[in-house]
A = this chain, B = another copy of it.
Amino acid sequence: MQSLTIGKVARLAGVGVETIRFYERQGLIAEPPRKESGYRQYPQQTVVRVRFIRRAKELGFTLKEINEMLYLRIDPNTTCEEIRVLAEAKKVDIEEKIRALQKIKEALVKLLATCEGRGPVSECPILDFLDQVES
């Protein structure tokens, strides 16, 4: 099995070279062996690992959480349950974010309804709202 250079890993995983090095510094991927020249030699497996990180990020996990998952995973005592708990927590997390955004949206919609977009800025109900002294 031949090894990959950092550039190849990056291309195969769809990220930049600097991202790979960054993940290494963060402990998300192991320090690979080097050639005499100092060039990193990655096993194919690294591409899978980087893709894992990307997908997890797309699911809203932070690098810190992903790191945790990766560590859980290599521990033979970890059960599927523990991963499930993480995913469950993330779902709750995301639901909260959605709710918060929906509230904001409703406020904006209300404001937009009161503003016809006519008249000078001094009479803009949106700014008036923002100016309210009482919450």
Question: Hey, which chain B residues are within 8 Å of A126, CB to CB?
Answer: 80, 83-84, 87
Q: Is the CB of B112 within 8 A of A88?
A: yes
Determine if A1 is an interface residue (Cβ-Cβ < 8 Å). Answer: no
Q: Is the CB of B131 within 8 A of A112?
A: no
Interface residues of A in 37-56 (CB under 8 A from B): 48, 51-52, 55-56
Interface mask (A52-93 → B, CB under 8 Å = 1, otherwise 0): 100110111000000001001101101111111101101100
CB distance from A102 to the nearest CB of B (A): 6
Determine if A24 is an interface residue (Cβ-Cβ < 8 Å). Answer: no
Q: Is the CB of A101 within 8 A of B108?
A: no
Q: Give Cα A52 to B132, complex, Å.
A: 8
Q: Give Cα A72 to B56, complex, Å.
A: 41
Number of copies: 2
Determine if A115 is an interface residue (Cβ-Cβ < 8 Å). Answer: yes
Determine if A17 is an interface residue (Cβ-Cβ < 8 Å). Answer: no
Determine if A118 is an interface residue (Cβ-Cβ < 8 Å). Answer: yes
Q: Is the CB of A101 within 8 A of B101?
A: yes
Q: Is the CB of A87 within 8 A of B59?
A: no
CB-contact partner of A94 in B105, B120, B127, under 8 A: B105
Counting from the closest, the 6 A-B pairs by CB-CB distance are: A80-B124, A84-B117, A81-B117, A78-B121, A91-B108, A52-B130
